[in-house]
Every structure is written in structure tokens, then in C-alpha cells.
Amino acid sequence: MRKVNLDDIEWRERQSPKGKYGRRSKDISIALGREPESLDLSKRHPFDLALVTIPNGKSLCPYHAHSSESELYLVVAGRGKVRDKDGWTEVGAGDAFFFGPGEAHQLSNAGEEDFVYYVVADNPRGDTCYYPDSGKFAVWKEGNEEVIVKGEEADYFDGEE
């Protein structure tokens, strides 16, 4: 059995340059030995678990859709709002919700206190993200390096012959 206590996991912070987006997270699965780059399923784990906090006035990240990842959320504290194709929905402690591949979503703090939740994701290899508001894509290169691209539609053979 692998065991870890949340108090022993350091917070990882991410903030956008102008401060609109921000969060702190504890990567529980990684603390339990998950190796995100491994192709060995016993080292990769079939899912990933994180504890996430979004401070007052912030959003986690821009509105986006994963190509192949599924995410399950469980709110533990605070008030949040979740955007999907139908608009914004308020959520609070005890609420659970799910987004499958291709379902665009965004999470934001809707209260004065931190918005805190657990997220369980299956993190399939080869997942990409599409950002409908800006037309960008997030892709990952070998070594788990994220690359953001903004492109134009092109013919399949464009630049190949």
C-alpha cells in the first residue's frame, strides 16, 4: 500500500502574468508515486487526484475542452461557478460534476473564501486542449512540455510536398 498525508504534500502555485488566473494545488497522485511520463500503467496510475484551491477573484484557467481526458470534480469548501456550453452554474460544498472529452469548461471562485475541490482525471497520453474563446490549442511534446499554438486550418498535405 502506498500512503501519503495531505499535510506532507507541498502546494504548487500557478498564476497568470496579469493575475486573472491563479490556483494552488496538491498533486496527490504524484506524491503516491505516479510517474506522468511513464508508459508503464502501473507507474502511471489509471487516474490522477489533486486538491485544488482557487483564490477569491480568480479563475483556474481559460475556458477549454480536452480531446480525450475526463475529469470528475468534488467541491469541499467555498463557492464556485462553472462554465460549460450552456453558461455559468454556481456550485458549493458537496456538489460533484463531470466533464468528458470535448466538453468545454472553466472553473472560477464565486465567493469571498477560497474555492476548494478535488479533481480526479484519467490523464490519457496524447490529450490536447482547445480554447474556444481564443482559438488556441495546448499540445504536449515529449518530456511533458506544454506548447501553446494558434493556427489556421490547412490542407492535410500543405507543406509536405
Q: What is the pLDDT of residue 144?
A: 67
Q: What is the pLDDT of residue 36?
A: 76
- Rounding to the nearest 10 degrees, give the CA dihedral for residues 65, 112, 92, 124: 30
Q: In angstroms, rounded to a whole number, what is the distance separating the alpha carbons of residues 106 and 71? A: 12
* CATH number among 2.60.120.10, 3.40.718.10, 2.40.30.10, 3.40.50.300, domain 6-126: 2.60.120.10
* Domains in the chain: boundaries: 6-126
For residue 23, name the pLDDT band (cuts at 50, 70, 90): very high
For residue 139, name the pLDDT band (cuts at 50, 70, 90): confident
Q: Coil, strand, or helix at residue 82?
A: strand
pLDDT > 80? residue 87: yes
Residue 9: how many other CB atoms lie within 10 Å: 17
Which amino acid, one-letter code, is at 145? Answer: E
Residue with the bigger pLDDT between 42 and 67: it is: 67
Lowest pLDDT segment from 2-11, 90-99, 149-158: 149-158
Q: In angstroms, rounded to a whole number, what is the distance separating the alpha carbons of residues 121 and 117? A: 13
- Regarding pTM above 0.75, the answer is yes
Q: In angstroms, rounded to a whole number, what is the distance separating the alpha carbons of residues 52 and 26? A: 7
| 143 touches 74 (CB < 8 A) | no
Q: In angstroms, rounded to a whole number, what is the distance separating the alpha carbons of residues 126 and 92? A: 32
Residue with the bigger pLDDT between 66 and 144: it is: 66
